[in-house]
Structure 1
Amino acid sequence: MTDLHADVEMPELGRTEVLSWESKDGRFEIEGLLTYPVDYDPSRSYPLILNVHGGPSGVFVQSFTGSASTYNLQYFAQEGYAVLRPNPRGSSGYGRDFRFANVRDWGYGDMDDLMEGVDEVIDMGVAHPDSLLLMGWSYGGYMTSFAVTRTDRFKAASMGAGLPNLVSMVTTTDIGEYLVAHMGGEEFWEDYEGYERHSAMYRIANVETPTQVIHGENDLRVPFTQGQEFYRALGRLGVPTEMIVLPRTPHGPREPKLQMEVSKIIMKWFDKHLRPSGPKITTE
């Protein structure tokens, strides 16, 4: 082991623990990771960010990754936010039945798993029920777009590389067959009603949550037009929104500068709509 740069002070980190809760339909035990704010005080309740992973077969694991990623979770923790990272149905690592439990059910059973986790953290006294925020990338961006059509509990949301329109998505993405498989093997012309049912664009009139849209300029996995559709529609509805285009970026930021900027951009959006002039934490 070495002790290089011993004179550089390490930043404080929020501790992370594994939580579990029962799914709303009673089928599964759902796990998630809760990262506490730095200097957490159990007598206080805090703003909570619900962070949804991609995939949907992605999975959050309890390990420290020193490399840069799309979301700098400890940055949010240092700013007084708690962060919940659930593994809803559809995630890898919990068996075949769990992995395929959200096939042809995107936005419903999986979202219920997420919201049950949010309620668990509220019941613990960690999160304030009036200070909830939402962010996700790729499938997590999809869930962000769909969630704001189903609930107004979030003060603000940030959709990263989201796919709000499965009809236009399946004919423009570079992995159309993957999406078809998650729709039960039916093409959109065979089940147009099903694709609509699971697309936020066809429910967008329900949205009241201020929603930020972030998308890579050169994204082939989730084409840029997906973000553009959602942003334009939100604007026409009068919902507070903004669109951040990441230059030279495929399906997620690769350049270190852009990786560092994404969390700052999201933090600015969350602060604007949650606590423009108020305290970082609230008493229970």
Structure 2
Amino acid sequence: MHTMWKGSISFGLVNIPIKLHAAIEDKDVKFRSLHEKCHTPIKYEKICPSCERELDIKEIVKGYEISKGQFVIVEEDELQELSNATGEKAVEMIDFIKLNEIDPIYFNRSYYMSPDGGGVKAYGLLRKALTLSEKVGIAKIMIRSKEQLAVIRVYKDTLVMETIHYPDEVRKASDVPNVPVEDQVTKKEIDTAILLIDQLTTTFQPENYEDEYRNKVLQLIEAKRNGKELVTVKEKETAAPMTDLMAALQASIDRTKPVSKQPAKRKRATKKEA
């Protein structure tokens, strides 16, 4: 499993070297954007609309827009200095709570954690302590120059880190428009709805659910492939190298010369016409 981050967990005075691995995999069917005429994949270039030219990566800087058209420029080394001061490779455990105290709306992404180097025993200690206490750890971690709030918990004997949103990143439910203040339903309607819920209630079995739309898209692609409905990129036409300048000019003229029409044959005069 690919390692995407290496660092350590600070658990009181205990330091646990760990590696992070992505726990989820994006299974979306991805399409390339092609030019309809020649089926060539489209390139997305970084163009400066003012200078009207493509920019090299070295010419691009970060700017924060404070008002329309006005920016504060922030240098990469300034951000790196802040990142180093925060502790880019450290996971700081700051609190321990019950998992059910966190509403699912806060959860973002999941990562598996594995021990690195000599961290096996300390890894096992934290896992056992979290299991017996029935608690999860609240921690902070820097990932890709962003400080993340995270939950560290045990999942199938493996430590898992779930990044969660900060409170100011979750929009207020009270701002959602047209939400009714009171339920305008009858007791019979409520009883019927609860009966339906009871009939559909079961235990959660993840393997019982699948992405039906994605499966249909893959079936469509496979059917087109088997039916040979394939397109290929049209090769760009390249002229053969010409060492003789006059030959190159003549070839260009011949290539662009319009096709002349054959002159119509004159009818042979008959005796009457004569």
State the TM-score bracket (shorter-chain normalisation).
under 0.3
Work out which of the two has the higher radius of gyration on C-alpha atoms and give 1 or 2: 2
TM-score (norm 1): 0.19
